[in-house]
């Protein structure tokens, strides 16, 4: 069946609770022809309802983080880990901090608020805002690990500030029994709560020995104190701001209608521009003003999802009717909580258990996702189809989609000898063409998409292709692009090609190369590749120059294949995937320069570490010893391998190398296909330690992983 083309772009700015639930809804019920982009500063978004529990030590960091990579994969969306800084309503573009501009047909904004106090003297150096969670959690962990200091303070006497103060005190007193906390409020505290609930919280503060200072101005911060407007001071080695929640400043420059800096929306959650919607704390519900509370963001999600569908595909819009009152659950430091609704108040451990169940159920809804089932095979298929499909997951992207080494070797075995001037007999990473005294490096490579972000795919594909040139000691000069776009409208073709070519051109320019042309076509999936020409050094580095005793250096961790396979199965952690992308989007030209004296070198890609090492072993006529415990692995890769998750090409890679393996998941990763993998170099042993140190200093996670030895061309693990 002809695939349905993409015709509309929906851009979700911010990974707040509303957008998270909207993504889940689009994953459950996709809108054919829609391409979704989520923009968020990081790969996760915090569930703020569990923040006090995390600060108190009841939850780990992962317990309260919505994994946006997993959610985006489930929804068939792309996640751009970047920060929005503006919107051009006329051009329909979202402007990002990286300089990218992302085009939209319909957009929605759910970026929350900030509690930063940039104008307060000393705050930038000595304070931390309660939102966003990431910096607060990291600073709090460091404060706990440092030990010693016992005094903390919270600026802001609302419910959030009091919750944080109780949580901090509970956590600190586990190791520092005399720890104290002070809550400082410029007006009256806890004014958002009904009087009965506020009295209960004040009682709890007194019982815990916390100090509440009301009608008190803060003049500034220093390393060990909060300085007050009347000249006094409060001792504090860790000061959090839960006050001054305000809209992000860039909203004021968008041209959208606002109210006190918040985006004004109508009852359909549409802004003054009908193609832009907003929800969550950044939105002002002018038709029914309500306090900033997560319950309204959650309740708005199905309404926003329906109205986005209506804007993109037609159909009826739904009005948002926020409830007047809602259940308030306030953490009390230890595993106890207070509940209030309609004037009724209760507290105790059972309220905490109730709150904990509500919170965990919400997080499970967003994080415990399963990939959509593959359609069943027709009743009648050719012989062998069911055997070929049995137990096999969807074909991986990146180098995991390559043809196995055995099939490839068989196809190349009977090719005629190369013409004069072309040297490729050793099976090196790139072909060498002789032009008189000049020698040129020529290679080609392409990748099946493993992320919906065409710019990220283009950058990684460009760096991946240049790896073959760098591995031979060459310098990239010119590239021809080979791009297959999934079927899409002409407008989306132009948008996507612009993203691809801009990102690829930048990657090549950083290496001193340029795109000279190329070819495009439409197909089923996004595929990006490059044919690349470069200058060869006087002595190109091949596979056959290694000597006995040479040390083996690897410049990059292993495990990209298993991480990408797990991503397709919704099993990878977003933080681990983000770390992988950060590494694979980094050039290795500087590493190649440091290794220019290598006797043999290759880049580790589709055939895995041992598959590519076997190339050096066979060409050099030597054996190799590899020390498993010295090999670096990407975060999360070993755990995934231990669970039996493998890339599509893993079995073919394993079958191509005769080696005895220990029963350890790390050993499985020696056959894991690497996308934009590290350089594997054989170097003189006396230079190895200095080279590893220089590579590490340059930012590469390099390691000495073994040595070449006299003997038959075989690989041994130790």
Q: Is 396 a catalytic residue?
A: no
Check: CB of residue 405 under 8 Å from CB of residue 607. yes
Amino acid 230: pLDDT: 93
CA 678 vs CA 451, 560, 712: distances in Å: 20, 11, 26
Q: Looking at residue 633, what DSSP letter applies? A: B
Q: Could you state, in order of their start, the residue ranges of all structural domains in the chain?
A: 8-41+82-113+247-326, 114-244+328-371, 429-541, 542-718
Give residue-wise pLDDT tens across range 262-285. Answer: 999 999 999 999 999 999 999 999
Q: Is the pLDDT of residue 80 over 80?
A: yes
Q: Residue 118 corresponds to which tokens in the numbers above?
A: 């940039």
Check: CB of residue 130 under 8 Å from CB of residue 123. no
More confident residue, 420 or 528: 528
Nearest Cα residue to 268 out of 307, 237, 324: 307
Check: CB of residue 681 under 8 Å from CB of residue 598. yes
Q: Is the pLDDT of residue 245 over 90?
A: no
Q: Residue range 116-126: average pLDDT?
A: 88
Give residue-wise pLDDT tens across range 286-295. Answer: 999 988 888 9
DSSP string, 593-604: HHTTT-SEEEE-
Q: pTM value?
A: 0.91
Q: Is the pLDDT of residue 131 over 90?
A: no
Q: Is the pLDDT of residue 381 over 50?
A: yes
Q: Residue 546 corresponds to which tokens in the numbers above?
A: 């290694």
Measured CA to CA, the distance from residue 487 to residue 475 in angstroms comes to 35
Measured CA to CA, the distance from residue 339 to residue 244 in angstroms comes to 25
Domain range 429-541, its CATH number among 2.30.29.30, 3.30.1330.10, 3.40.50.1390, 3.20.20.20: 3.30.1330.10
Amino acid 426: pLDDT: 44
Strand ordering across the sheet containing 238-241: 127-129, 238-241, 151-155, 180-184, 211-213
Q: Residue range 635-658: average pLDDT?
A: 93
Q: Looking at residue 376, what DSSP letter applies? A: P
Q: 46 pLDDT band (50/70/90 cuts)? A: confident
Q: What kind and span of H or E run contains 88?
A: strand 84-88
Q: 274-283: string of b/e by CB count within 10 Å (b at 16+)?
A: eebbbbbbbb
Q: Residue 267 corresponds to which tokens in the numbers above?
A: 């009852």
**C-alpha angle 181-187-189 in degrees, rounded to nearest 5:** 50
Amino acid 409: pLDDT: 62
Q: Is the pLDDT of residue 171 over 80?
A: yes
Pairing outcome for strands 679-683 and 600-603: antiparallel
Amino acid 284: pLDDT: 96
Amino acid 432: pLDDT: 84
Q: Which long-range contacts (CB under 8 A, 24 or more apart) does 451-455 make?
A: 451/78, 451/397, 451/581, 452/35, 452/37, 452/72, 452/76, 452/77, 452/78, 452/79, 453/78, 453/79, 453/80, 454/496, 454/499, 454/500, 454/503, 454/526, 454/528, 455/100, 455/499, 455/500, 455/502, 455/503
Q: Where are the alpha helices (DSSP H) in 114-210?
A: 123-126, 133-146, 159-172, 195-207
Q: What kind and span of H or E run contains 73?
A: helix 68-75
Q: Residue 273 corresponds to which tokens in the numbers above?
A: 């521009």
Distance of CA 241 to the CA centre of its chain: 27
Q: Where are the alpha helices (DSSP H) in 627-713?
A: 637-642, 650-655, 665-668, 688-697
**H helices then E strands: how many in the chain?**
21, 36
Q: Residue range 63-87: average pLDDT?
A: 95
DSSP string, 442-488: EEEEEEE-SSS-HHHHHHHHHHHHHHHHHHTT-EEEEEEEEEEEESB
Query: 247-261, 345-359, 362-376 — which is least confidently predicted?
Result: 362-376
Do 8-41+82-113+247-326 and 429-541 have matching folds?
Answer: no
Q: Is the pLDDT of residue 27 over 60?
A: yes
Nearest Cα residue to 283 out of 108, 21, 97: 108
What is the three-class DSSP state of 22? helix
DSSP string, 397-448: SBGGGSPPHHHHHHHHHTPPPPPTTEE-TT--SSEEEEETTEEEEEEEEEEE
Give residue-wise pLDDT tens across range 442-467. Answer: 999 989 999 999 999 999 999 999 99
- Identified catalytic residue from 399, 568, 667, 695: 399
Q: Residue range 392-408: average pLDDT?
A: 61
Measured CA to CA, the distance from residue 581 to residue 583 in angstroms comes to 5
Q: Residue range 30-57: average pLDDT?
A: 94
Q: Residue range 84-112: average pLDDT?
A: 97
Check: CB of residue 572 under 8 Å from CB of residue 563. yes
Query: 121-135, 507-521, 587-601, 673-687 — which is least confidently predicted?
Result: 121-135
Give residue-wise pLDDT tens across range 301-346. Answer: 999 999 999 999 999 999 999 998 899 999 999 999 999 999 999 9
Query: 39-43, 385-389, 480-484, 700-704 — which is least confidently predicted?
Result: 385-389
Check: CB of residue 571 under 8 Å from CB of residue 630. no
**C-alpha angle 81-303-492 in degrees, rounded to nearest 5:** 45
Amino acid 425: pLDDT: 41
Quick one: CA dihedral 428, 433, 437, 438, positive or negative?
negative
Measured CA to CA, the distance from residue 141 to residue 63 in angstroms comes to 15
Partners of 485 in the β-ladder: 522
Check: CB of residue 459 under 8 Å from CB of residue 535. no
Enter the CATH code of domain 8-41+82-113+247-326.
Answer: 3.50.50.60
Q: 1 pLDDT band (50/70/90 cuts)? A: low
Measured CA to CA, the distance from residue 5 to residue 3 in angstroms comes to 6
Q: Which CATH superfamily is domain 114-244+328-371 in?
A: FAD/NAD(P)-binding domain (3.50.50.60)
More confident residue, 15 or 391: 15
Strand ordering across the sheet containing 258-259: 258-259, 262-265, 283-285
- Residue ranges with strand state E in 586-687: 600-603, 623-626, 679-683
Exposed, middle or buried by CB within 10 Å (0-12, 13-18, 19+), for 662?
A: exposed
Q: Could you give the count of Cα atoms lying within 13 Å of 292 in the half-sphere of its Cβ?
A: 21
Measured CA to CA, the distance from residue 432 to residue 535 in angstroms comes to 10
Amino acid 538: pLDDT: 87
Average pLDDT value over all residues in the chain: 91
Measured CA to CA, the distance from residue 440 to residue 475 in angstroms comes to 9
Q: Residue range 137-143: average pLDDT?
A: 90
Query: 21-30, 159-168, 240-249, 326-335 — which is least confidently predicted?
Result: 240-249
Strand ordering across the sheet containing 422-423: 422-423, 431-435, 438-448, 527-535, 475-486, 514-523
CATH architecture of 542-718: Alpha-Beta Complex (3.90)
What is the three-class DSSP state of 671? helix
Q: 406 pLDDT band (50/70/90 cuts)? A: low
Q: Residue range 614-640: average pLDDT?
A: 96
């Amino acid at each position: 069946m002809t695939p349905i083309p993409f015709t509309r772009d929906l851009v979700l700015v911010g990974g707040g609770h509303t957008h998270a639930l909207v993504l889940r809804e689009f994953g459950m019920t996709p809108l054919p022809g829609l391409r979704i982009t989520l923009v968020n500063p990081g790969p996760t978004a915090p569930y703020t309802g569990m923040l006090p529990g995390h600060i108190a030590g009841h939850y780990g960091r992962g317990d309260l983080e919505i994994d946006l990579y997993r959610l985006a994969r489930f929804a068939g969306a792309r996640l751009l880990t970047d920060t929005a800084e503006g919107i051009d309503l006329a051009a329909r573009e979202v402007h990002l901090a990286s300089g990218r501009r992302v085009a939209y047909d319909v957009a929605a904004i759910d970026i929350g608020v900030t509690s930063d106090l940039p104008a307060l003297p000393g705050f930038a150096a000595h304070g931390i805002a309660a939102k966003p969670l990431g910096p607060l959690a990291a600073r709090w962990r460091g404060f706990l690990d440092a030990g010693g200091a016992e005094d903390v303070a919270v600026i802001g006497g609302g419910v959030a500030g009091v919750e944080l103060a109780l949580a901090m005190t509970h956590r600190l007193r586990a190791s520092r029994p005399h720890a104290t906390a002070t809550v400082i409020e410029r007006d009256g505290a806890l004014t958002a709560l009904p009087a009965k609930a506020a009295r209960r919280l004040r009682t709890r503060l007194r019982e815990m020995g916390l100090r509440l200072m009301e009608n008190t101005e803060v003049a500034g911060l220093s390393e060990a104190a909060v300085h007050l407007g009347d000249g006094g001071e409060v001792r504090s080695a860790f000061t959090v701001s839960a006050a001054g929640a305000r809209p992000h400043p860039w909203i004021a420059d968008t041209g959208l209608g606002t109210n006190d800096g918040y985006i004004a929306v109508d009852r359909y959650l549409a802004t003054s521009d009908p193609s832009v919607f907003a929800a969550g704390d950044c939105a002002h519900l002018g038709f029914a003003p309500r306090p900033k509370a997560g319950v309204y963001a959650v309740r708005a999600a199905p309404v926003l999802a329906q109205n986005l569908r209506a804007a993109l595909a037609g159909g009826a819009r739904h009005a948002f009717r926020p409830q007047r009152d809602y259940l308030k659950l306030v953490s009390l430091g230890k595993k106890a909580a207070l509940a209030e609704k309609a004037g009724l108040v209760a507290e105790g451990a059972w309220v905490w258990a109730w709150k904990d169940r509500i919170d965990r159920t919400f997080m499970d809804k967003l994080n415990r996702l399963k990939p959509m089932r593959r359609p069943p095979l027709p009743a009648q298929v050719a012989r062998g189809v069911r055997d070929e499909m049995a137990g096999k997951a969807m074909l991986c992207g990146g180098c995991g989609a390559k043809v196995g080494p055995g099939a490839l070797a068989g196809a190349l075995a009977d090719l005629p000898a190369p013409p004069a001037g072309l040297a490729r007999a050793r099976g090196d990473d790139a072909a060498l063409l002789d032009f008189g005294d000049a020698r040129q490096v020529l290679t080609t490579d392409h990748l099946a998409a493993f992320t919906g972000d065409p710019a990220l795919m283009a950058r990684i594909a460009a760096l991946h292709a240049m790896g073959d040139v760098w591995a031979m000691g060459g310098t990239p000069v010119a590239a021809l692009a080979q791009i297959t776009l999934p079927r899409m409208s002409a407008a989306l073709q132009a948008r996507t090609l612009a993203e691809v070519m801009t990102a690829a051109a930048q990657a090549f320019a950083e290496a001193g190369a340029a795109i000279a042309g190329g070819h495009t076509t439409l197909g089923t999936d996004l595929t990006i590749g490059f044919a690349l020409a470069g200058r060869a050094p006087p002595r190109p580095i091949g596979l056959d120059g290694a000597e006995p005793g040479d040390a083996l250096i690897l410049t990059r961790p292993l495990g990209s294949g298993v991480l990408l396979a797990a991503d397709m199965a919704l099993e990878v952690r977003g933080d681990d995937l983000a770390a992988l992308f950060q590494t694979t989007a980094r050039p290795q030209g500087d590493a190649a320069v440091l290794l220019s004296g290598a006797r043999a070198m290759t880049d580790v890609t589709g055939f895995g570490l041992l598959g590519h090492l076997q190339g050096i072993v066979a060409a050099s006529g030597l054996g190799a010893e590899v020390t498993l415990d010295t090999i670096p692995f990407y975060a999360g890769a070993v755990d995934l391998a231990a669970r039996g998750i493998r890339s599509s090409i893993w079995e073919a890679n394993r079958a191509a190398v005769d080696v005895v393996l220990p029963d350890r998941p790390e050993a499985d990763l020696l056959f894991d296909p690497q996308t934009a993998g590290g350089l594997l170099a054989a170097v003189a042993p006396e230079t190895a330690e200095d080279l590893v140190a220089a590579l590490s200093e340059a930012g590469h996670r390099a390691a000495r992983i073994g040595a070449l030895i006299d003997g038959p061309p075989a690989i041994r693990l130790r």
